[in-house]
Structure 1
């Protein structure tokens, strides 16, 4: 049994949108201290690590750990009907075993959703040593990714002590985007040793586009030809982190 209530539907809707980029069926852990999700996309190229402590919720009642598996796209349909300052309550209906979604604001409405079988897979956090840590604005990063998308479907990110370079090359055009340390877009850059790695632009752009609604700041960590970790700093407490496997270039 659980009862979770957020006072601002937009907060829940933005987070559900970010999660939906990678997974259609999400298995949340509802624990006494908060809501958690760690999952990989079907192709196992990307991973999401999400946490909301109970302090984010207006009301949080989960005395016993449980799992909640649902179709995120279907939940989003309901959340899109809720206004910015309307409250959303999620609870389990004892009799039907379905999820109850109650939206209250100008008027009240109640929806029910069938639950799915929870995944038993435990996805571990990747244990990776990173040589690069770049703190960027989500706007600046998003614009750089959009520039690279004009010419290719993948981008190489190259980090040196004073700059971050994104380069993309297609059959007709090429693009090089240089972001200097200390600029409006690149707030900080820590380089243990220069590194470069290539990533899918379709994944990167979708992740950044969706997560930017929840955060103004993104921190990228990577090493040569290793996965990139993108942590989106939350305005409230909580964690929203993505891992994306590199595209290995063949000579």
Structure 2
């Protein structure tokens, strides 16, 4: 399963996913965030399996900072309760383009 994250200036973050058991969408408005630096729009699709594993650390963190840029890894910075920081990078899911022999240059 995949989690789609969309960030839009003036709107906040939209988390959405669809799978075998249904669909979900969650809107997180800019007013609900501690701090924002949204400029324009960015989006990415990430493995829900890996995100769930990474977010298990959230119970011992004070704050989570997310950096999102289209077609780039998702950067998550966790501020730990006992001091210290933990940074994770999660590569976006990339759809493979179909191979077309007509696109190849002749040698």
> Fold-level match, TM-score > 0.5?
yes
Aligned to 2:72: 226
Q: Which runs of 5+ in 2 are unaligned?
A: 98-107
> Structure 2 CA distance, aligned partners of 1:234 and 1:172?
34
Tell me, yes or no, if structure 1 residue 195 matches structure 2 residue 66.
no
Aligned to 1:235: 81
TM-score by length of 1: 0.36
> Structure 1 CA distance, aligned partners of 2:26 and 2:87?
24
Larger radius of gyration between Structure 1 and Structure 2: 1
> Structure 1 CA distance, aligned partners of 2:21 and 2:50?
22
> Structure 1 CA distance, aligned partners of 2:18 and 2:59?
29
Aligned to 1:168: 17
Aligned to 2:105: none
TM-score by length of 2: 0.79
- Alignment deviations for residues 75-111 of structure 1 (CA, whole Å, 9 cap, x no partner): xxxxxxxxxxxxxxxxxxxxxxxxxxxxxxxxxxxxx
Answer yes or no: is the 8 Å Cα contact 2:13–2:30 preserved in 1.
yes
Partner SS state of residue 94, structure 2: coil
> Structure 1 CA distance, aligned partners of 2:96 and 2:44?
13
Report how many residues are paired. 96
Q: Which runs of 5+ in 1 are unaligned?
A: 1-152
> Structure 1 CA distance, aligned partners of 2:59 and 2:29?
25
Tell me, yes or no, if structure 1 residue 156 matches structure 2 residue 27.
no
Partner SS state of residue 189, structure 1: coil
Tell me, yes or no, if structure 1 residue 181 matches structure 2 residue 27.
no
